[in-house]
Chains A and B, each alone.
Chain A
Amino acid sequence: MIATNASAQAPIGRASRQWALHAAVNAASALQGLLPLIALLLLWQVLGDPRSPYFPPPSAWAAALIERTSSGELLPAVLMTFQSVAMALVVATALGVGIGGLIGASPRLARCLGPTLEFLRTLPPPTIVPVAALIVGVNDTMKLFVIVFAALWPVLLNTTSGVRSLHPTLLEAARSLQLGPLARITKIFLPALLPSILTGVRVAAPLAIIVSLLAEMLTLMPGLGALLLTAQRNFNAAEVFGLLTVVGAFGFVLNAALAAFESWALKPQGRS
């Protein structure tokens, strides 16, 4: 028995090592992909004029960022934006999976809600900001609302098409095993839809960042967007470029984190 157990577990141990290796290779290749950007920044640093009012070299950006950090503004702004984006993604995922799942499961609901959702989906999120500010006021709820409004659709649409492409045999197996509605949702639907949902979230994440920054710029609510706009209004080019780098890194890290989560979550399904 011991011998057979060991031989059964061996491939699993090997698989997890392979997966870790795979993840490391992925991270390395992602960093490798950033090399042209790093080269460009180095070139800029070497050839750029440190006194240029419009194109200050990266060292000037760093100095400006350090100043913002020591004045205690940068870190809270990053955290604020991150908090808005993360919370909005959680809400958008919950709503998108719920509504998308129902629409995918019920053709009648799809007919009833389809055109309305299609109309709402085509509204550009920036145009929602003034409307939401009028109705809800300039506060965190409004910000959350507009980000969710933008991030909802990819999750919703992916979930709907995921439900529609569930294999009938899987659903019949669940029926013939007489699983209750709750067990069907938690044990069959959600795990089966996980790849579709996660793809939706990954598409939604950059949208959430865009709209979050936009809302901050339009309303000057605390966050990276407000910091960026203030720097621009003060003609502080170095800080603008510096904050732009922070925004880029923010998106890059968020996307990498989601990709790692996706790869980890889908490992048991053999789809990572």
Chain B
Amino acid sequence: MTTQSSFECEQLCIDLPGAPGVRRIIENLDLEVGKGEFVSILGGSGTGKTTLLRALAGLTPYSGGRAAYEGRDVRSPVPGMAMVFQDYGHALLMWRTARRNVALGVEGRLGGDELDRKVQNAIRMVGLERFQDEYPWRLSGGMQQRVQIARALAMEPNALLMDEPFGALDAMTKASLQDQLLAVQAETGATVLFVTHDIEEAIYLSDTIIMLKGSPARIARRITVDLPRPRDQIATKELPEYLRLRHQLYEAFRHEIHA
């Protein structure tokens, strides 16, 4: 089983310093994510979704248990993994064009034609060809987020960690980026860990949904999404299975939504 898994957590505990003292965010969490799987981490705000993702990305230290990527403990960012932040405005370098932002992660070890090829491929995958020589601050939010996703893709990651990447975008841009992400995943076969608080987004994109609840957070539920691929914004969302999952998840979050 271990050769098949991309991410693994065993009894993972994460503490973060806060004003009143150290607070436990995640407690004794077990998780296994298979290679090429699309897993969404779903939960209300402040449940520790982002903290969990950041620990798996090697950006937040954990205090107990184990977090591993491809069998190795994660203590700092690991090659083969790429992170996409929600806050594209601060994650991009505003003084570099879109194309040079995409090159940032690979230009250190590649050069010439190979660099060009990888950058162009990443730009193509997110449909940024027309805007590659533009500065990010001249692009719309959706376009900026595409630049950030392309920057991650240029590194040809085996795993893509995304922290509410579409959280700040309008509904139409969001739908178009969701479809682009699904196409990218189908093309690259990358494992995707996707943090969101949007129930419908989680169902539409994922193979598996991990529901975080409580404080400190635990996995309240693990839901397998058995919807056919490729998915379609209209047809998939009219399937009885989609509606059943939607009902089930809204029911599970009902008290949090009303809170």
Residue of B nearest to A265 (CB): B95
Residues on the B chain within 8 Å of A192, using CB: 93
- Interface size of A by CB at 8 A reads 27
Across the interface, do B130 and A8 meet the contact criterion of CB distance under 8 Å?
Answer: yes
Stretch of B83-91, B179-187, B210-218, B250-258 contacting A (4+ beta carbons < 8 Å): B83-91
User: From residue A3, how far is it (CB to closest CB) to chain B in Å?
Assistant: 10
Residues on the A chain within 8 Å of B57, using CB: 176
Cβ-defined partner of B91 (8 Å) among A7, A170, A270: A170
Cβ-defined partner of A4 (8 Å) among B87, B129, B134: B129
Is A187's beta carbon under 8 Å from chain B? Answer: yes
Asked if A169 meets B90 with Cβ closer than 8 Å, knowing A11-B134, A177-B105, A268-B95, the reply is yes
Across the interface, do B104 and A270 meet the contact criterion of CB distance under 8 Å?
Answer: no
Is B137's beta carbon under 8 Å from chain A? Answer: yes
Chain A residues numbered 225-248 whose CB sits less than 8 Å from any CB in chain B: none
Binary B-proximity of A152-183 (CB < 8 A = 1, otherwise 0)? 00000000000000010110110111111001
Residues on the A chain within 8 Å of B83, using CB: 172-173, 176
Chain A residues numbered 183-198 whose CB sits less than 8 Å from any CB in chain B: 183, 187-188, 191-192, 194
Across the interface, do B91 and A269 meet the contact criterion of CB distance under 8 Å?
Answer: no
Chain B residues numbered 39-90 whose CB sits less than 8 Å from any CB in chain A: 57-59, 76-77, 79, 81-83, 85, 87, 90
Is B196's beta carbon under 8 Å from chain A? Answer: no
- Give complex CA distance A46, B93 in Å: 57
- Give complex CA distance A191, B184 in Å: 31
Across the interface, do B59 and A177 meet the contact criterion of CB distance under 8 Å?
Answer: no
Asked if A173 meets B85 with Cβ closer than 8 Å, knowing A268-B95, A269-B95, A270-B94, the reply is yes
Across the interface, do B85 and A177 meet the contact criterion of CB distance under 8 Å?
Answer: no
Residues on the A chain within 8 Å of B135, using CB: 268, 270
Binary A-proximity of B155-182 (CB < 8 A = 1, otherwise 0)? 1000000000000000000000000000
Cβ-defined partner of A180 (8 Å) among B85, B90, B104, B108: B108
Is B133's beta carbon under 8 Å from chain A? Answer: yes
Residues on the A chain within 8 Å of B94, using CB: 268-270
Residues on the A chain within 8 Å of B131, using CB: 8
Across the interface, do A172 and B59 meet the contact criterion of CB distance under 8 Å?
Answer: yes
Is A31's beta carbon under 8 Å from chain B? Answer: no
Is A12's beta carbon under 8 Å from chain B? Answer: yes
Chain A residues numbered 16-55 whose CB sits less than 8 Å from any CB in chain B: none
Across the interface, do A177 and B133 meet the contact criterion of CB distance under 8 Å?
Answer: no
Residues on the B chain within 8 Å of A11, using CB: 134, 138
User: From residue A257, how far is it (CB to closest CB) to chain B in Å?
Assistant: 21
User: From residue A75, how far is it (CB to closest CB) to chain B in Å?
Assistant: 39
Q: Which residues of B contact A (CB under 8 A)?
A: 57-59, 76-77, 79, 81-83, 85, 87, 90-96, 104-105, 108, 129-135, 137-138, 151, 155
Known: A172-B91, A176-B81. 11 other contacts (CB 8 A): A169-B91, A176-B58, A178-B77, A179-B108, A188-B93, A191-B93, A192-B93, A268-B94, A268-B96, A269-B95, A269-B137
Q: Which residues of A contact B (CB under 8 A)?
A: 4, 7-9, 11-12, 15, 167, 169-170, 172-173, 175-180, 183, 187-188, 191-192, 194, 268-270
A-B contact pairs, 10 of them (CB 8 A): A8-B131, A11-B138, A15-B138, A172-B59, A176-B82, A177-B82, A177-B105, A177-B155, A179-B104, A268-B96
